[in-house]
Structure 1
């Protein structure tokens, strides 16, 4: 395409190493400037002039001045119209005087196709009136013929400036349309599966991506593809590995690292990325090499973006392009906006579904910030230390007891209560491995706040400078109200996974051994177990455990014996 000569002669085509001549035929050679002119990708330019020498000279100058310009020439109006339809160039440079027409006629043709396409008219000396008329008719800019040889940078700058402005306007228009389309999807789509499919359709139809799919972290160890456009063959090949969470697939990399993953080139020049030949079994079986499957599907670059942040992540959006290097910073920002909106929409859909669900809903909340006692405690431990929460127990109206297990740290590394905001006391048992810690929090805690609003706390975990509190909530409850209550108390709160029992069965009463226990009896039994009360010798006696729970030894033993009797009755006399 570069330097095409419609007349077929070989006298110095554009892009060759021959001397550059100006329109007067002089041999003024122009120094090449290695610059992209601010263009982020290659741009096609169509130069039209009935003077073939001038057209080739202009093409050579443009390509020498700007590395990312690829120039085609035409010498007559019919040839120019054919080339424009075939190339769909980013910019047209056209002389006003053509043998069989004027540049205004070609300008009209271009404007019928695209009212905003860059069109630079070239005029002769003394044609200022023509230049003014060109601008009135919709030309983007004009230059006077001959000036490009005196100032080689002039024409290149006019062309690249027009292309940059054109691309910026198109990108802004596309982003505006995308936001309008995203808003429409979010407000009109209730089903999560339908919502994912709508976003995949939008990305392919409106943005020109070759394929898109969304994988959700629900019910699998990796990613379960919920929706896809033009990715069927690819997902057939790698689907099992995706669901199992195995391999180096970009989607799994984005999920595991919780960051955008871009592969700029999946081309045949990559020794690890050879496409299977026609009929190859790799195109039909579960091929662990995702590159082979991608190449077979016609993909040459890929971007994968997490849906939501860590703790609140619900899946990954993956988008493919047919050409290498399609995902620059701007495209990645756009996809990140999509991912954020999709994650929000999925959580909203889950909230809506929970309000009409016939079963309780399980919700995870991720809370961080120094005002959370467990977060403050964990941040003072040495690097590489892990903290697990064995149990929690209510000690008084304001305090909560955490029974912790601290791995890869000695007892001397455990911070005392005076350095942990919100902690009333910290007791350490470093004879055990891992180290056991009793932390009593006397201020606000996520668990107490959630329990006071009707949620049943089913677990607390400490990870990555945050606590993850899992709760079970009645179907008629308002999950958004829980979230608002947490945000009123704690600065950094994210809603994570929201799940309901999809079996359609009604909730049943717990038929386990502890079904008959009251909360205090269950608490006494659970704390006794985790504190080594049943070990020989006992790790903690009744007085110590009662003190940890904020009750007397007599009250503790009463609760414990009643709990034991009920459990044994369930075990030995179930009827």
Structure 2
């Protein structure tokens, strides 16, 4: 009925319009009824009429059930309309309203509404967004473009604050300016500016706003209207232009060649970073002093007679140049380049210079000749070092190795003399062990130490501490060589080098070499000496290990360890069990596989403790028999490393409830104090409880084992030892071939190959030869 009626009818539900017909919407200047649904009822009343609701209208409806009278309403565009209003109460919160324009105003209202519709159609014909907001921030008029761009419906736009259509940062800017609470002022604050319009989906669309404020003379109300133009395409073009310009600037600034811009008087107006390097910009300067300088006045150009060459640029000639150059800061360089004149409207306006610094190339050319001479010397040095390295392994003792090295170096015409020293037992002084050459008592008179004091700051002391080759290329000026300078210069020594004799983490001593020429030890030469030092250290280590196998006198050390840093002790303490080390094998990768039995705890629990230990790379259970079993630890800790580097071996070891006992055998020639100190440094809660020395006669079984071991390759020995310790030969087997192959990091087929060859060697020795 309300839809078909020509009267204006509305259902008021609570305080808002619940339903309205077209006549009611048209009465208040709305093109669609839905635009009024949900709007507060009193918003369509003039401000001075709103008080009548609570004072007169609603009380009459509640008591009489209806109210009838004339009232002034407010249209959407802010104008007022007088109409006859009838209100009937349906329920306590629902009313039906019937309105009709008062006599005399009906035609005026129709004309006003027709004018509004004409204005709306005109707005819709504009491609840009057109908007009008009243002083309360309510949208009064807008065109279809606003709906199309933002995705909002007319009713949604009517309920929005203007600020909700604008990017958040623009709202904050309006708030900072003091107009953040004034929704209309938010748009007015934009002026002629570009901001992002935010759509219903959250998309940002750049628009350029142009707006103004006006006053309705009839009502005195203030309105804000404006136009917003989509500038997406223009913004993208500007972005592309900025990107292109930035790319060109970065290209020029980071070009691998120098680039200069000259004005019409050939003054430097721009230089890129590479050009500044050519000119020589000091580190503490932000801008080159060459800016504004006539390029022909630069000293190197004027002094070399090249000024006229650059003058030819003014005649439109492209020039090419190559000459030495010294910057205004004294930096020497040599560069080549090209200059191109620039014209505008047939008038010379400057030039572009591109210069490539070829100083390095020129220096390399000069160095080539020096390097040819140095290369010949280096080849001689390398040949000498190779010969010495070959001779090392023909020397049966450490003393002979050290003397051989010194003799070979001293007999060449490259060096004056050489000596090898090692720290004295229990002290820091490096004591000479071998020397050769014309030193005129130098070695016996100087004092060198391993500590950081003055006598330990020279090449020898630094080499021993760092484990790296150290040199003094010019003894006359090297402050660290002060304690020995006079003695060295008296003997004609100009440079010296010290080479650490290392194997693994152990330094056996140092080799000191002296030459009568400064700068005698180039980088390549130092690398050669580094290899020699490692070879000597390896040879000494091999002799010490060999000494343990064949020594008649053996030193046995017994340690008691309660340090939880040792995984065996920690596991036995945490699990209240007994752990017994049955053997260990060194792998090709340098790790050690330690085999151990456990009694009183589950092997899996021991494995969990070991897995968390930094010295254990991996752990596996070989055999699990409840609270006993066999395990394998792959270790790379200080204990096994120190033993190997000192030529010692662990003969027995066990740990019970956090207390361990370990027996170690070493040849008599081993530095026992150093070995003991290093083990106690690694595990502070360890005590040397016994040190015994005994004779070990050479027995035939040892000779047999050694002779057989000499026939096996390293991999064959490793495969055989791992198979034995891991229970491969037991029945049933405790480890499969795959298990052992995994521990060796090889395939199962390769393991079988090494094991079969090892077993064949054993069978040949025991079944073939002995039979």
| TM-score normalized with structure 1 length | 0.38
Higher relative contact order (CA 8 A, sep 6+): 1
Q: Which has the larger radius of gyration?
A: 2
Which structure: greater strand fraction? 2
Taking structure 2 as the reference length, the TM-score comes to 0.29
